[in-house]
Structure 1
Amino acid sequence: MSRLRIITIMIMFVLPACAGNAYAAAERLILPLETRPGVTVKVLLQTPDVPSKGTILLFPGGSGARHFGGSGSGISLGNNFLVRSSGLFVQKGYATAIIDAPSDHADGMSDAFRASPEHAQDIRKIMDALATRSAGPFYLAGTSRGTLSAAYLASVLPQGQVAALVLTATLGSVGSLPLDAVSVPVLLVHHIQDDCRASSPADAAALTGRFVKSSQAVFVEAAGGSSGSDGGRGKRRTGGAGGPCSALTHHGFLGMEDKVVTVITEWLSGKPAPKRISD
């Protein structure tokens, strides 16, 4: 196993108070980890101020690159659904690890790389490093193009390394992956008004039948929230600022972040997921 180089930037921050069992303080750590010879992956680890219920690896959409940044004055988060909602998972008692693109794909990960042995090797090394810093079990969660990473990794990582798979705003192209090799429980959450051409609700719902080895594959439809500035005006596009595939639209569960995170965390804790959530 190659040496893991860990550089830590530690910042204490206070999360806003919320109803229920909320954990008000946490650590944020940026960990540049060496995963292959000469290749590093930055991971933003956020942990609650109590023993965590587990660690959720978060795979953002888009290029997968630069969804967070750090400086001497703090750490900034991007608009991607899982990234901007990461603090909500911490409030529910889970640690989160936001995965950046590797240094040899600094401008972003292609779909082919997201389903490659190199990507799997990176994540195995990251999980080995996180195991010394954050409590298991480990879960994989992806949104939009990040669902390609999460679903592929769940199909190839060694049995017992991952406890569950969560897919949100799932791309239809996830159906090209070996989903019949996924043996962990699977939760899919999708907005019924997601107008992104690459992630139709019908295609996402149909994927539940592909997880034949999983003990359960549950589909939850979301309704409500906000379409954003122009994401609901009728054009079906594959991306672009302000388009229906962007983060601050139904595709990114705008206005429903807390409800979606609550469904995910309650399901991870063993509670049954509802068929539908709304605001």
Structure 2
Amino acid sequence: MNRYLIHALLFAAALLGTAQAQSNKVIDVATRSGITERILLNAPPQPRAVVLLFNGSNGQVEIKDNGELGAGRGNFLLRTRTLWNARGLASVVVAPPSDHNEEPFLADFRDTPEHAADVQALISQLRQQFHVPVWLVGTSRGSLSAAAVASRLAPPAGPDGIVLTSSILYDKQQRTVTALPLDALQVPVLLVHHKRDACRQSNPADVPALLSQIATAPRSEVMYIDGGQSQGDPCDSYAYHGFNGTESLVIDKIADWILRQDKK
């Protein structure tokens, strides 16, 4: 039997019973030849969409065999992963692939054909199992993953849409979202930013310029968030940059926007 068909069947077996709620289901998915990518699935009964969640910073995510998270668990998207379920969306935490699961993790990998190939394999298999739209949601440097993959993978191979939260827009040393070929995006794009984000690399004043770069996308919008509290370094997960204290509000607004696109 074809090796890739075997992997698809194993993935399907891991997702048997999709009509029932699935919480903290750990699955190792074969992506490129000889490479696997570990994901953590939380799904409500009959989800209306799936969101793949990309951590910020260097992308390190530790998914333990029992479904608990180690490194990276404080990240905005990782700590809110189950909130999507109440809105009818399945969430998928994406760990680095097996060939990038140590330093520097995804730091030099997010905008590569290999990263796009890994994510495309996840998108394909999740669509086959759930038969619903699959979106990419990135936060901070994770937005680079979501935007880079979507700019490389046109529909129908790529995602149905992307959400970029607290995007890194300025960095003298590393690539940012604004350096990508964003005119290649062919899916809806939502930008989410906190009005008081004090991280120098994600200044709210730079968001309109990013919006102008994605003007060719079928639909695009900026969503500004206010409120909450900021703790520690302004670029950390519990600052305004990580939507500390507004998590439920942010997830609700993003979920509403995603589900509206499915009706258009």
TM range (shorter): 0.7 to 0.9
Q: Identify the match of residue 47 of structure 2 among 48, 52, 56.
A: 52
SS of residue in 2 equivalent to 1:194: coil
SS of residue in 2 equivalent to 1:131: helix
Q: Identify the match of residue 124 of structure 2 among 123, 128, 140.
A: 128
SS of residue in 2 equivalent to 1:46: strand
By how many angstroms is 1:67 displaced? 4.5
- Asked whether the equivalents of residues 59 and 98 of structure 1 are also in contact (C-alpha less than 8 Å), the reply is yes
Pairwise CA RMSD of aligned residues?
2.3
Q: Report the more deviating stretch, 102-111 or 87-96.
A: 102-111
**Does structure 1 residue 205 correspond to structure 2 residue 208?**
yes
Give the percent of matched residue pairs that are identical in Structure 1 and Structure 2. 36
The residue aligned with 1:234 is none
Q: Identify the match of residue 223 of structure 1 among 215, 221, 226.
A: 226
Q: Identify the match of residue 165 of structure 1 among 142, 162, 166.
A: 162
By how many angstroms is 1:109 displaced? 3.2
TM-score by length of 2: 0.84
Q: Which amino acid in structure 2 is aligned with residue 167 of structure 1? A: L
Could you tell me which runs of 5 or more consecutive residues in structure 2 were left unpaired when the two chains were aligned.
170-175
Aligned counterparts of 1:34 and 1:143: Cα–Cα separation in 2: 25
Could you tell me which runs of 5 or more consecutive residues in structure 1 were left unpaired when the two chains were aligned.
11-23, 231-242, 272-279
By how many angstroms is 1:29 displaced? 1.3
Q: Which amino acid in structure 1 is aligned with residue 47 of structure 2? A: S
**Does structure 1 residue 93 correspond to structure 2 residue 91?**
no
SS of residue in 1 equivalent to 2:202: coil
The residue aligned with 2:257 is 267
Deviating 4+ runs (over 3 angstroms): 5-10, 108-112
By how many angstroms is 1:111 displaced? 4.1
SS of residue in 1 equivalent to 2:128: coil
The residue aligned with 1:139 is 135
Q: Identify the match of residue 32 of structure 1 among 28, 33, 41.
A: 28
By how many angstroms is 1:66 displaced? 2.1
TM-score by length of 1: 0.80
Q: Report the more deviating stretch, 131-140 or 190-199.
A: 131-140
- Cα 1:100–1:110 change in 2 (3 A) is closer
Aligned counterparts of 2:106 and 2:143: Cα–Cα separation in 1: 13
**Does structure 1 residue 68 correspond to structure 2 residue 58?**
no
String of CA shifts for 1:77-127, please: whole Å, max 9, x gaps: 611111111111111100111111111111243443100000011111112
Pick the structure with more strand per residue: 1
